[in-house]
Amino acid sequence: MKIFLITVSVLLIGAHSYAQHGQWTVKAGESIKEVLGDSIIFQYPQFMPGSVYFKDKTVSIARFNLNLVNGEMQFIDPSEDTMTVDNEGTIQYIIIQTDTFYYDKVYVDLIHSNAIAKLAKVVAIVPGDIQKVGGYEQPSSVSSINSSSYFYNGSQVVKLKEDKIITLHKRTIYFIGNNFNHFLPANKKNIHSMFTKQHMAIDNFIKENKIVLDKESDLLKLIDFLEKG
């Protein structure tokens, strides 16, 4: 889904709170599915039992899995076909096994919450370098290409253009949420905008406790501090 790839790319530009886990190179003419395989593309090794809780209080039960490349929450329907959850605006949250997902432009996986604040993460496979094969089949970097155009067409994995080589990275982006289930990447600007009344207290806490905003254990301390403040 191009929207997801663009959104995640924007989030990565504006957020320092992420960690990089792996790297893969997809050569010209190869597909992402062939190179990565389902064990990397999806969050879970198989589709797992789960429930979608809608804002109108209805619940839908199926087997779900999160696609880390296109950001779609997918499920197995009664005909054993793989489908994509749509109408995300109607969803309150999704529970898969012991994991809880909220949707705010992207699916975020809840790590910890209290009455005031939430900590969540997005694990995504995102574009790195894209190279164009030159006249003698030698790759040359093309930084101006919009990488999101070369991954997915709708919800289907498609082959890259024959003259493109792309590097993919698996990253974790941390998000701060409020009690309205609104989530933003965990950086000072976003934390200030979400908790304006605690602006100065937050800055003092971060400074005094040497909080690192790309470290999960430090973010957990900050979430608990927000509840006390």
Query: Domains in the chain: how many in total?
Result: 1
Residue 66 to residue 70: CA distance in whole angstroms: 9
Cross-strand bridge partners of residue 18? 173
Determine the 3-state secondary structure of 184 from DSSP: strand
Is the backbone of residue 156 left (phi > 0), alpha (psi -120 to 50) or beta? Answer: beta
- Residue 25 has a pLDDT of 87
Which residue range(s) make up the domain with 36?
Answer: 2-228
Give the residue carrying structure tokens 């990397």.
40
Beta-strand ranges (E) seen in 85-163 are 91-96, 99-104, 106-113, 117-133, 139-141, 152-153, 156-157
Instruction: List the chain pLDDT tens, one digit each, 229 residues.
Output: 444 544 554 455 444 455 556 788 888 777 788 888 899 999 999 999 999 999 999 999 999 999 998 889 999 999 999 999 999 999 999 999 999 999 998 999 999 999 999 999 999 887 775 554 444 344 333 333 333 333 433 334 444 555 567 788 888 999 999 999 999 999 999 999 999 989 999 999 999 999 999 999 999 999 999 998 7
What is this structure's pTM?
0.79
Structure tokens that stand for 67 in this block:
């696609």
Report in angstroms the alpha-carbon separations of 189 from 24, 88, 208. Answer: 32, 26, 18
* Phi, psi torsion values for 89, nearest 5 degrees: -65, -15
